[in-house]
Structures are given as C-alpha cells and as structure tokens.
Structure 1
Amino acid sequence: MRALCWYGKGDVRVETVPDPKIQDPRDAIIKITTSGICGSDLHLLDGYIPTMEKGDVLGHEPMGEVVEVGREVRNLKKGDRVVVPFTISCGSCFFCRKSLYSCCDNSNPNAKIAKQLMGHSPAGLFGYSHMLGGFPGGQAEYLRVPFADVGPLKIDSDLPDDKVIFLSDIFPTGYMAAENAQIEAGDTVAVWGCGPVGQMTIKSAWMFKAARVIAIDCVEERLELARKEGRAETINFEKEDVYERLQALTAERGPDRCIDAVGCEAHAAGTLGNVMDKVASQVKVTPDKSHVLNQTIISCRKGGTISVPGAYGGFPDNIPFGAFMNKGLTMKTGQTHMQRYMKPLLQKIESGEIDPSFVITHRVPLEEAPEAYRKFRDKKDGCIKVVLKF
C-alpha cells in the first residue's frame, strides 16, 4: 500500500509499505477514504516529538470502510463505515472504566519508554512516535486498528466524510478543551490559536454558554475564520500586546477562562523567549516553547481556569508558576478521552448544530501530502486544514 512516512525533521515521503494484517483477535483493518493532517502532525515534522524512527507511517485522523475484523470484534463487520479515534483504548482497565480513555493502561506496548519521560504512560496513539506505541498511522491506504471493539465509531447515516471525519480528533479535542475550561454562563473565554483545534474550541465555548470568545493568532485567514464562523472577537498578537488588549477588553480583570490550543510550537512577537529559542536551536536543543502557556497564566483572571489541548512533548522552560499559584488558577489538560465524546458529538452534527467541515481549505490526494504538510506548516495558500482523499 501507499503511505506517508517520516524520515526526519522536515522530511516526509509517500512510499510503498507492507499492507497491515490482523495481529490480534480484537483488530480490524480499515480501508481509508479520508484522513486529516493535524496541527500536532507538524510537531513531528519539525522534530519536537522524541522516539520517531525513519519510515514511521504518520496520521491520526482517519476514517474509512471496514475490510476485515478479528474473531473477537462483534460490533463491526465488513463494509461498515467508521471514524477511528486517534487514541487507542482497551475499554476495560482502571482508567477506561473511569472514561479516562487517553490514559489507558493497556494500549501502549512501549509503556516503559513513556514512563521514563512522564512517570506513567498514556494510551497508545496512531502515527505518533514509538514512545506512544509505534503504531502505523492513518495517512495510508489501509490501517490496522487495535481494540477495534472499543475505538471506531460506526456511521450509519449518509453524512459525507467531510462532516464526520473530525470526530477522529479535533472536534472532540476542542469540545473537551472547552469542558476542561469549566466555562460558566456569562464567562469571557480567550482562545490562543485559530488553527483547526482552536476553531473547534471557539465553537464549543459557545455550546457551554460563554458570553464572549476572544481568539488570538497572527494569521489573518485564521482570524477571519474565527470572526466569521466562530463569532469571536480577535487579537493579532503581531500587532497588539495580548495581555494589554485582554485587560482592556475585560475591564482589567482578565478572561475567566484561557485555552492554549497551540502547544509546543508557539510563536511570540519580540520577546525574550524568541531570543532563547534561537540560542537553543544553535546548540541543537529543541525545548517545548511555552510562550502561549505563559500568556494564559499572566492574562487569566484570579481564580480562573486554564485549559491546555495543545500538544506538548517534553519540558517547557520558564513557566511563571509563581503567578499561577498566587493567582489561585486551575489548569486542566490531557489528550482527548475520545470514546466519551464521539457519539454525543455525532448527534450534534446529525442535528445540524455544527458542521465541522467549515475548517477544510484543502482536499488533496495522498501523493500530494508532503507538499500539503509544507503548506500547512508555512501557512501558505490560505491553508488552515488539509484532508487527504483516497
């Protein structure tokens, strides 16, 4: 089969690799019809996530048609149309029983590696390093899905792929980010990052009865989408001081809830952090960039909440923890507990409450994926969200 493979920083290629096979009675094989390129895939492209190996198949936002199931998979059959969540969860461990699916104890065969970095291992993820399982991803013609009796969501309606594909990651991720922010009716919510997850977070904030949503980015196409589709007020951080503007917009109190939908590749305008990043790159160190995380802590009102759906892979530096503690802030984070959200969010799509396809700007075949990665990373050609079509 053809698949998009990682070969090092800035180097992804479409190559022929072996077809996946059933390896466990709870496996399924999916023929991919649509697969997204995620902002967190760019962290792999740019070398921020450790334990990648040359030839690794990328992608964690897939959907398609079931072509084979293991003997213990009784909820799916050949021909079923499914969305596959990016997390892999067993459904029966201590954490899965608590609906903390992204903390699954049994789905990461390389848990020892993750424990060395994190203390404990989260769930395995598709296409996202050997530390998180080394599972081949879904930017490929076929995908092996472990624990297929727990993960994939069957789509029984005739909704097109573009409307449901983002149940694989970014819609549940944005929704959980808003939920983690503990939004109360009447709150002002600030969202850093107007990429695909940020756009879903903005939409979700309104579902939790926010009174105002303020979106922060520097890419005009993303800011315009946040204004048009998300009904958000916007701040361009390259043109305005974010903290000062947020204070002015909130009568000096600060936003009630602040959400970091950027993660470890945050950019900052004219700050000491940028100087430190340049020094670090010269000595071949790639620390997570904490610009956005720092701004959320400094900007959030006292007693407020910070939610972090943005992906971090290691050790952000220079976090103002004194401000975090003294302001009495709460922070909630985590990879998305996908199986908790997929079915109820599908109902929101089916009812017409939301059409997540509004973020798609580019639809391309798999063979054009390397160029699409570069456009997405470099924010060229108005690229906000890419889906690969098979």
Structure 2
Amino acid sequence: MNKQILRLAIPFIISNITVPLVSSVDTALMGHLGSTAHLGAIGLGSAIFNFLYWNFAFIRMSTVGMTAQEYGAGNDKEMGLLLGRSLWVALLGAFLLVIFRNQISHLSFLISKGDPDVEEYAMSYFRIRIFAAPATVGLYALTGWFIGLQNAKAPMFIAILVNVVNLGLNFLFVAGMGMKSEGVAYGTLIAQYSGLLLGIFIILKKYKKFLKFIQPKVLLDFTGYGRFFRVNIDVFIRTFAVISVLTWYNFASAEKGTLLLGVNVIFLQLVYAFSYFSDGFANASEALVGKYVGQKDLSKLQRVIKYIFGWGFGIALVFTLLYAFAWRPIMRIYTSDNQVVLEAVNYIGWIIAIPLVSIITFVWDGIYLGATATAEQRNATIIAAALFFIIYLFFDNSLNNHALLLGQLVFFAARGIIQSIYFKPAIINKLLIQ
C-alpha cells in the first residue's frame, strides 16, 4: 500500500513545488526593472487570475473522484464520457471568460484600486493573459482525469513543461527583448498552451481507446449530466467558501497596517509551503479512495485511509518542528525587515499549530473528493467558514490580529472535525448498501 501511495504522492509533490519557483522568478524579473509599478502590476494581475481560476478548480477536483471510481469499476465508456464532459464544461467556462473579459477587467479594477501606473500595466497584463483561459481551465479537466486513472506522472510532466517554458520565455521576453509585464503575460500564455498540447499528446498516445466514447450527440445530451453537475456544484460551493475565507484574511490583514500585513502574508506563505507536501498525499488519496470505492472494496479503502493519515501526520510533525525551532531563519527567507520578524514573535504559536491541525482537513478533503461525498464536504466547509467569520467579527476589537489567526485555525480544525464525524454515514455506510 505504501508503494501505491508514494507512486502517486511524490509526482504530485514535485508538481506542487515547481509552482512557487516561477512566481519567484517573475517577481525577481519585475523587481529589477527599476519601477515598482511593473512588480505591483504582476501582483495585482495574478491576484485577479488566481480568483478567477480558483473558482474553476472544482472541475479538477470533481473529475478525479468520478473518474477514479469508474476506473475501479473498469467502466471504459464512463471514463471516456467523463473526459469529454469535463473538457466540455471547462472550455465552455473558459470561453465565457474570454468573451466577457472587458466586463471582468472593469469590475476587477473597480474593486482593486491601485496607482494609475500599476493599473495601466496590470490591465495590459490581464488583456494578454486572459486568452490563456481555455488552456488553463482545460488543463484542470485533463489533470483531474489523469489522476483519476492513477496516473500522477502525466500531470507532473505537464506542470514541469509549463513551468520550464514559462521560465524560459519570461527570461527571453523580459531580460532578452526588453519587454516588461506584458512579456511575463505572453510567457504564461504560451506556456499554458504548451501544457495543453502535451496533455492532448498523452491522451492520443496512451488513452486513445477512450476517445471513441466522446461523441457530440452524447456530450450535448444533458440528461446524462445529473451526477456530474451535482458533484461539480457541491465542489464549486465548497471552493467558493474556501476562497471567501482566504480573501477576507488578505483584506483584513491589509486593514491592520503594513507591519501586520507583512506578518500575515508570510504566515500564509508558510501554510502554502506545508500544503505543497500535504496536498501530495491528499491528491494520492483522491485517486486511491476513488478506485476502491469503484471496486466496492471496503477493506482496501479503510487500509489506504489509515496509511494516508499516517503519512500525513508524519509530514505535519516535520513541519511543526521546523516552524517551532527554525521559524526565524525561515522568516528571513521572505523578508529582511527586522520589525516584521520581531512582530511575528507575538503570533508564531498560531503558525506552529497549523500543520498538525490542518493535516486532518487536507487528508479528509482528498478522501471525500475521491469518494464523491461532496455534499457532506460542502456542508463542513460552509459551517467552518461561518465559524471563521463569527470569530473574526466578534473578537477582532478585543483580540486584534489574534482573532484573525484564531479564526483561520478554527476554519481548519472545524472542517477536519466535521468530516471525521461525517465519515461513517457519508462514505462507509453508503458503500455498504451499494
């Protein structure tokens, strides 16, 4: 069982850790142009795209569980149909983003006010990169489908290609050709389509037999989309709740002044750093849990859950010790501002607690997605988000920044506790009566 888990988890972790490398290089390239406006433009433009694309992440999440279950059941036709339906929904949504790009950019820059120069460069960045939407969202569908087929290497190779092409083109366009923020946008645009082309190549090379089931008549028959849309809607609501908490965390941090904003932004980066590793095992659980649910094999399902939690807590313990005993040098990686590091002393306990608290949530998230127990996961996330906002609104005046960080910890803890309670009725009992 450990071999199966690591065969999936390690490629996911490699894929995850390539992502911050590109954003770091982009930041460095913009930071050396002699104008902070271009740096701010990349930050603002990226924030808009992160919000847009995070709302489409449900396509990848829901596709994994449904595909893995059909893989476990050996149902080639449904696996082929899931590929077609996921791509159809992804591309439809992406083309809507392109069609309504002017309205989206107008609303985004109306909400996110910046200096005139920053907004001008960010608008230019947005107008170029928005045309990558079909490739970016299409890759969500392909990645989810590959993971469902227990293939973690394909998403890894795609992620590496996208990031290598992105890095190379950004250096060429910015450092070599003298382009600025628009050069980064073009680099991202071309890189995303290179990833999509590689994904299509892998399908044609390895999974061509599934394409015969993808027929326009079947794809346009929406009577067959019942479960597909139900799962996708549940995951979309769940994702939106997570994004709402994250967005509020950033807005609330900004209101607390530059010093606390610096502390909270770095703390969030430390959560992300942990998630790059923990999500590798969560993604592995999506694929394996889905497969065993499809096979209706309760014994292997319970076994893989036990092993995944074991690996998860092991990773969480490593990060807990790392943050407890090496938090100062880690903070220095993100900032050279002594005041930010000194201020972090007052709040470091919250970030030390995050790994062991959040790992329960991250692992359950993967298990629930693999089992497509999405209604229960949706409910758990909504309740946890409500608790986050209640804690912040009621205790912000008295606890100040501690209220925000407490709310974040409770958000993770509540999701883990509620999904632990739901586990037997949502997954085990349903499997027993099938």
Measured against the shorter chain, the TM-score band is under 0.3
In terms of fraction of residues, the more helix-rich structure is 2
TM-score by length of 2: 0.21
Task: Give the TM-score, by structure 1 length.
Answer: 0.23
Greater gyration radius: 2
Structure of greater relative contact order (alpha carbons < 8 Å, 6+ residues apart): 2
